[in-house]
Structure 1
Amino acid sequence: MHAKPLDREVRRTLTAVPVAVEEHGKATEPGQLPPGSEGPGGSARRIAELEREVWELRRANETLKSYVSKALELDITPRRRDDHLTAAAVPSSRRVLSPVAAPAAAVEFRVLGSIEAYVDGRLVDLGAPKQRAALALLVSQVGQPVSVDMLVEALWDGRPPQSAITSLHAYIANLRRALEPHRAPRTPATVLCTRGRSYLLDSRAVEVDAHRFGESATAGWQALDRGDPQRALHAFEAGLALWRGEAYAEVSAARHVTPAAVRLEELRLSMIEGRCATLIAVGNHELAVPELAAFTQAHPLREYGCELLSLALYRAGRQANALSVLRAHQKRMVEDLGISPSPALQHLELEILRQAPELRAPGRVQ
């Protein structure tokens, strides 16, 4: 459906309305004389005529507003002569209706591994390694401006060439085209925005898997605190399933990204321990044993993992193995670090030796 051209007289009225209203003030009913206009017949009649014109112009303006409102509801965008795209070629969800319009695309970033971006559910090409690294830096600071100087320093390890700024601008332009493929030319970016001499990923326009991972961790621990291990297990597994490799793989060693990468890795290890603790809580200690064995081998200094492995072994009927794990850990701590194991591990060893009833496995939850 195409919008009919606006009547030439209506165009004239749109221009005339502000002038007439400004000159004559508030319009009255057609033919009604405003207060104080009684006087010589000519002046009064002229004022009445002008007011009548203003009234008609206001009615025409209201009619036009109604027409435009209906046109927008019908997904019709009047086309200017210099437009290169028809209204039908631009989906209504992509049109910029105001400077503060909603973002042009639903963008999802995945950083729990190498950087990936999905626009409307489709994987997009993020270009060359430095361009991908620039995006990873921006994603690590979602909602916060990242200065040009910071980006240049990180991308070129503090030794930028003379062309660094030009190259960075090209990377940003390429990323904007990839992240907002439907954005009209010369319209403001709504995903990767400019803020002075900085760039910013608008947190309202994007989703990040690292944020969902953190939410899953919180939900899991809260469910455990409420005594709901099945819900906790579901939350932990959903969060861990998001991981594909090292977080922010392209720039994990960059000074401005390292804190975020380290925090996420520590949270991942804690979630693995939480998941195994939940498996033990629901009676699936046979499944927890091999996972904890691999985990403690990869992270031998994490005492909670050692504690969980010993408990799982004991509940699986392997008391000797449980004690062996605790004593091997104690030896490692003393020889490598010169410290004693934690009170929790010492207490667990004593409880295993006396076969404390508190260590018995609960009934298996299906």
Structure 2
Amino acid sequence: MANERVTAGLASPGAAHAWRIAELEREVRELRRTNTLLRTYVAQRLDLDAHHDTGRPRTPATPGHAQDARHPAGERPPNRPAPHPAPALAPAPAVVLRALGPIEAVVGGRPVDLGAPKQRALLALLASTVGRPVACDVLVEELWTGSPPPAALSSLHAYVANLRRVLEPHRAPRTPPTVLRTSGRGYLLERRSVDVDVDRFTGRAALAWQLQESGDPHGALRAFDQALALWRGPAYAEAADSAYVRPDSARLHELRLSVTEGRCAALLAAGAHEIAVADLEAFVQDHPLREYGCELLGLALYRAGRQAEALAVLRTHQRRLAQELGIDPRPALQRLQQQILHHAPSLDWHPRPRPARPAAPRVRPPVAAPL
């Protein structure tokens, strides 16, 4: 009787369709429930097998190295190489020193007050020889320019103590300093604890020349700009008159001039002739005897369509060398003058294609797990 009522209720097509949808939804719910039960059963069996094989409960594997359940922790399955330990990162320097100009120090991301002029000059002297000790006698001689007072050594020790408090504000009492250390009968700045802008300048300059040699003028130009942006004045300004600092100060000054010329050469290689002309005119006016700068200016003027001015610059430079030094220009300058006169095609600018960046590896989208 009940079957007759169900059959009679399904006589209409709409009712039969609704009944079929309800049956499909019920079957889907049953399949999902069965799938969940199967997953739980398999996980329990695997955990039980691991317990029997190792004789101990299975411990979770460390991230990045899945542990084999058939081998105890700390042992390695045969024919499986040991994982390489992660390389230890060098600790970040505790102090950042800026010596390409007036001496400055940044501790914990904040600039600090370095105190009196002689105390600042002491830090500038030590910054010129990071990692190498400077004897107290030399420091006294340089700070007081050969005429130290009777209490000069005591004043030097007081300056050192003050700088230590500034450079290591959180150092516990009676613990050895790690930035400004005592070494024999002198003091030194520990290289591992100090980051000096002098090192960053030379590093960026070397990178810029390397990029220029590899045919990447745009990358070289960025590196040259980053190197020159570190300068704020004469190197080791507070101790610039010191005989102890003078050789390294002269070295850095010469390197700065070479970097400026290298930047202008990168501008020419990148096709920025007018910008190079403006920079080189000021540079040659300040340093009229630097032949490479004069050569770059002549080439920049020629590429900017100013041939007469290019020849005038080269001839003026030739006369100055003859009158002041009694020498002729180097062969490269003489050759450039002849090439400009004959409109040599080798002087024309030809754009170089920028080096292609390696394509990022294609990652396949993850495949969805079946129900």
Q: TM-score surpassing 0.5? A: yes
CA separation in 2, counterparts of 1:218 and 1:265?
15
The equivalent position to 2:98 in structure 1, one of 89, 110, 114, is: 110
Tell me how far apart the structure 1 counterparts of residues 174 and 146 of structure 2 sit (CA, whole Å). Answer: 33
- Within the candidate set 331, 341, 347, 2:319 is matched to 331
Q: Any gaps of 5 or more consecutive residues in structure 2?
A: 1-89, 355-371
% same residue: 63
1:197 aligns with 2:182: no
- State the AA in 2 paired with 1:223: L
Map of 1:97-136 to 2, 5 A cutoff? 106-136=94-124
Matches within 5 A, 1:64-83: none
The equivalences for 1:171-182 within 5 A come to 171-182=159-170
Instruction: Identify which of 289, 305, 330 aligns with 1:317.
Output: 305
Within a 5 Å distance, the mapping from 1:1-366 to structure 2 comes to 106-363=94-351
Residue 192 of structure 2 aligns to a residue in which SS? coil
Mapped to 1, the partners of 2:340 and 2:239 lie a distance apart of 45
Task: Please report how far the alpha carbon of residue 223 of structure 1 lies from its aligned counterpart in structure 2 after TM superposition.
Answer: 0.8
Which residue identity is paired with 2:144? W
Q: Distance in 1 between matches of 2:351 and 2:171?
A: 58
**1:361, distance to aligned residue in structure 2 (A):** 1.6
Q: CA 1:322/1:165 → structure 2, altered by over 3 Å: closer, same or farther? A: same
Q: Which amino acid aligns with 1:208?
A: V
Provide the C-alpha distance between the structure 1 equivalents of 2:345 and 2:234, rounded to a whole number of angstroms.
41
1:340 Cα deviation from its structure 2 partner? 0.7
Aligned length: 265
Give the C-alpha shift of residue 106 in structure 1.
1.5
Runs of 4+ off more than 4 Å: 102-105
Work out which of the two has the higher radius of gyration on C-alpha atoms and give 1 or 2.
2
Q: Is the 8 A contact 1:283 1:365 kept in 2?
A: no
Query: Per-residue CA shift, 1:7-58, capped at 9, x if unaligned?
Result: xxxxxxxxxxxxxxxxxxxxxxxxxxxxxxxxxxxxxxxxxxxxxxxxxxxx
State whether residues 334 and 340 of structure 1, in contact with CA within 8 Å, keep that contact through their aligned partners in structure 2. yes
State the TM-score, normalized to the length of structure 2: 0.70
Task: Work out the CA distance in 1 between the residues paired with 2:168 and 2:142.
Answer: 25
Q: TM-score, normalised by structure 1?
A: 0.71
